[in-house]
Each structure stands twice: as structure tokens, then as C-alpha cells.
Amino acid sequence: MLFLGLSILLSVLLLLNFRLFPRYDVNTFQAIVFNYPVCFLTGLLLLPAGQSFTIDFSQTWTWLALGLGVGFILTFLLSGASTQRMGITATSLANNLSLVIPVCFSLFVFRTGDKAGSGQGFDALNYLGLVLAVVAVGLSTYKKPEEPSPETLRTEANLKQPRRLGASVLLPVGVFLFYGATNTMINYMNLRYIPSADKTVQVTLTMVVGAIVAGLLMLAIRIVQGKETIQPRSLIGAITLGIPNFLSFYTLLLALSAFGSNGAFVYPLYNIGVILLAALTAALFFNEKLSTANKIGLVLAVVAIGLISWQEFGRRL
């Protein structure tokens, strides 16, 4: 549970970075691109004694890890496009509800329903907890759409042109699928290619290399197009983002290893743990108000945690 708790805490630190970037005029895109070299340096410092980082292109997992790193960047860009065209609410829901994909793969494809080797498979209460976790995530992250201004309504009425979404409605679907696919691949790689904890940093660093190459390439294209100029504040933001980013991912992999790569157990607890801690942080430091739906979602999240993990808690008590 220690690694899972650390991963949740570090993930909320990432959200705090994104929340504070606009306040300090930090270019979020550049901070994300440059955060991956910081992640790489952080990982080098965590390499076990006697190990050095090398990329072996003859290994299947190397290509999977590099591709996953590229997937991180593509998922970020897709999320940005979805947020701009479909709004924060739809994108956030798609992101958080994507946990059902790795959970289903973990239970029905990878067959990792056994609780960390305890011999206890998922029972009815555990499955009920998974269902409540999905409902809790949806309610906890729901934000009521803002009403259009009278000026906007009058303009649309005068032009007689309703707002058309077209293919944009597929963007949240893409976010849902991409986030679910990357988390499923993380679970698969942890199950198939990380037999021991001392290999975790090597695999993670390889993923980061893929993200570095893809991110710098996209930044270079935007600079050539005249859409970006390097801002020194982005480099500072990359440091505050990169260190917890690597550590959150690293501890999540360690948590998966500790629980036998059981994504059906780890991912729901991770997602709703982040939501609960983020909601508490937002209320304490940013005075964010919760709607009735949000409060119900948070209560259901606590119940879901209990149902999903009651066997594990009972075994440790």
C-alpha cells in the first residue's frame, strides 16, 4: 500500500503544477515536453547499484516501451484538443472512466484477479466495488456545463446556426480509448517484462526516451512553424513537473508489482485515491466548491475502496 499511496500523492502534485502554471505564466506545452528529460535524469539517479542504462533494440519490450512513450505525448495532445472543442467536463470524465479498460483486461484477459498471490479471487463485493468506482469517478469529476451568455444565444438565433460538433464528439472517445490503452499496456509490460523490481527503472527510462524523442520533435515542428518560442520559465516548470512525474509512474509500477500486476485492484484504488486527495487539496488551497453530485461521488469512492480492497485490508490487519 505504501507505493500506491506515494503514487497517489505524487500524481496530485502533478495536478498542482498544472493548476499553478497559468498563475506563473509557464507554457504548459513546453513544460510537458521538457519534463521528460528531467524524468530521465531522475530515473538515472534511481538506477540500482551496478546497473547502467542501455537500450537493447533486439528486445520486444524495448519497442513496446518506446511506443508507449510516444503514446503518452499523443494522449496529451488528444486531451488538449478534446478540452478545447468539447470542454473540460467531457474530457475529464473520459480520462477517469478509462479505468474500466485496464480493469477488464486485468480480470478477463490477463487473469490477474488473484489478490497479490493470496489465492483469493475477486468476489461479488469486489465486483460491486468496481461498478461503484466507475460511478464514483463519473460523479466526482462532473461539472455542470456553463450556461451560454445571452449574447451568444442572440448571435446563434440571429445567424440561425446551431453549434455543430461534428467529428469533435469523437475526441472524448479517443481520450477514453488512448488512456485506457496506455494503462493496459503499462499493466501488460509490468506483468510480462518486469519480473523483478530492479528492472522497473530500466523499463521506465526506455518509455521516457520514447516520450523525449516524440516531444522534442513536435516542439521543433512548432518552432519552425513560428507557433512556439522557448520560454525560460518553462524549464523551471519542467523541473517541478518532471521529478514527481517520474516518481509517480515509478511508484505505480512498483505498486502493480507488489499486487501481482493486478490492475483490477490497483487502478480503481489509484484513480479514486487521486480524485479524493485532489478534491481535498482543491478545497483547502483553492476554495473550490463541490456540487451535490461531486459529494455523492466522493462518498461512493470511499465505499468502493472498502469493497475492492476489503480482503487485502483484512489480510493485513
- Reading the chain (317 residues) residue by residue, the pLDDT tens digits are 889 999 999 988 988 888 888 889 999 889 989 999 999 999 999 888 888 888 989 988 899 999 999 998 888 778 867 766 776 666 767 777 788 888 888 878 887 655 544 445 677 888 888 888 888 888 877 776 655 555 444 544 544 444 455 567 788 888 889 988 998 998 888 888 775 666 788 888 999 999 999 999 999 999 999 988 999 999 999 999 999 999 998 999 899 888 877 787 888 888 888 888 888 888 888 887 888 888 898 888 888 888 877 766 655 54
Q: Are 176 and 183 in contact (CB under 8 A)?
A: no
Q: How far apart are CA 174 and CA 181, in angstroms?
A: 10
User: What integer pLDDT is reported at residue 44 of this predicted model?
Assistant: 94
User: What integer pLDDT is reported at residue 51 of this predicted model?
Assistant: 82
Helix orientation angle between 232-258 and 2-20, rounded to the nearest 10 degrees: 160
Q: Are 27 and 289 in contact (CB under 8 A)?
A: no
User: What integer pLDDT is reported at residue 261 of this predicted model?
Assistant: 76
Q: Are 297 and 138 in contact (CB under 8 A)?
A: yes
pTM of the entire predicted model: 0.80
Q: How far apart are CA 81 and CA 104, in angstroms?
A: 27
Domain residue spans in the chain? 2-316
Helix orientation angle between 2-20 and 263-285, rounded to the nearest 10 degrees: 40
